[in-house]
């Protein structure tokens, strides 16, 4: 048995102990393992390329985040605030309730990644909510941003379980099959619909109460 293939583990331990860049450490560990296994450098690089191509739908998220950061640096949040300030009748309850509905509906369709804290709440929803609420001080502004983040959480959490291919539904289906209970994913996901309606009503009431308290 060739124990040299375990050299990658030693490289990772040493790299993390020295607090080197995690990406560099992982690449060096993979190179060490591949060379120890007798692979040529071209084959190792090809394996990297194949892995990236096979999981490109996951990697694209890390490409989008720098783009959002660049847009924020060039005034994305200011533009979002200006948009809301220019709309007549734009209030905090209307904005957040509309976003809650959108988040639940898209999550129920399986589109869980089209919104979220990093790509939507921080650069768009939070500044728009602040512009609609017009907070009097920093503490009130933080509460408004917290409500915006909470709205995204509620919409995603209680909407995604309606989608038949979400992990939680498939986990329950697999568990029940192991115990002799055969159910289709749709038979489980429909039971999330009443909960989603209740979550929308309860959180919508919280948003409305927050808006009324500020009126």
Confidence of residue 154 (pLDDT cuts 50, 70, 90): very high
pLDDT number for residue 116: 86
Mean pLDDT of the chain: 85
> Does residue 166 carry a pLDDT above 60?
yes
Give me the residue spans of the domains in the chain: 3-54, 78-214
The Cα angle at residue 198 between residues 126 and 141, in degrees rounded to 5: 20
86-127: pLDDT as tens digits: 888 889 999 999 999 999 999 999 888 888 888 889 888 999
Buried-exposed string 160-195: b where 16+ CB fall within 10 A, e elsewhere: bbbbbebeebeebbeeeeeeeeeeeeeebbeebeee
pLDDT number for residue 58: 53
> Does residue 209 carry a pLDDT above 90?
yes
Q: Which helix (H) or strand (E) holds 68?
A: helix 56-73
d(CA 100, CA 77): 20
The DSSP line for 4-57 is: GGGHHHHHHHHHHHTT--HHHHHHHHHHHHHHHTT--HHHHHHHHHHHHHHTHH
Nearest to 162 by CA among 183, 187, 199, 193: 193
The Cα angle at residue 174 between residues 169 and 177, in degrees rounded to 5: 125
CB neighbour list of residue 192: distance below 8 Å, 6 or more residues apart: 158, 161, 162
Confidence of residue 55 (pLDDT cuts 50, 70, 90): low
Range 42-70 average pLDDT: 70
CB neighbour list of residue 111: distance below 8 Å, 6 or more residues apart: none
Residue 116, CB-side half-sphere exposure with 13 Å CA sphere: 11
d(CA 201, CA 211): 15
* % of the chain with per-residue pLDDT over 90: 30
Whether 167 and 110 have beta carbons less than 8 Å apart is answered as: no
CB neighbour list of residue 211: distance below 8 Å, 6 or more residues apart: 91, 92, 93, 133
Which of the two residues, 4 and 181, has the higher pLDDT score? 181
Confidence of residue 171 (pLDDT cuts 50, 70, 90): confident
> Does residue 201 carry a pLDDT above 90?
yes
122-148: pLDDT as tens digits: 888 999 999 998 888 899 999 999 999
Confidence of residue 168 (pLDDT cuts 50, 70, 90): confident
């Amino acid at each position: 048995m060739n124990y040299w293939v375990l050299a990658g583990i030693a490289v990772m331990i040493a790299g993390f102990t020295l607090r080197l860049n995690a990406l560099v450490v992982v690449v060096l560990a993979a190179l060490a393992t591949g060379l120890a296994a007798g692979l040529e450098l071209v084959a190792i690089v090809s394996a990297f390329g194949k892995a990236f191509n096979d999981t490109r739908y996951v990697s694209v998220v890390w490409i989008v985040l720098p783009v959002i950061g660049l847009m924020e640096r060039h005034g994305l949040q200011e533009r979002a605030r200006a948009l809301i300030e220019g709309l007549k009748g734009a209030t905090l309850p209307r904005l957040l309730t509309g976003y809650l509905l959108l988040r639940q509906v898209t999550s129920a369709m399986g589109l869980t990644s089209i919104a979220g804290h990093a790509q939507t709440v921080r650069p768009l929803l939070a500044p728009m909510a602040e512009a609609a609420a017009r907070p009097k001080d920093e503490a009130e502004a933080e509460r408004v941003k917290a409500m915006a983040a909470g709205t995204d959480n509620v919409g995603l959490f209680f909407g995604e379980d309606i989608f038949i291919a979400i992990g939680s539904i498939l986990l329950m289906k697999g568990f029940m099959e192991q115990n002799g209970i055969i159910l289709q994913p749709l038979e489980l996901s429909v039971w999330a619909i009443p909960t989603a309606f209740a979550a929308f009503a309860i959180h919508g009431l919280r948003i409305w109460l927050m808006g009324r308290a500020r009126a």
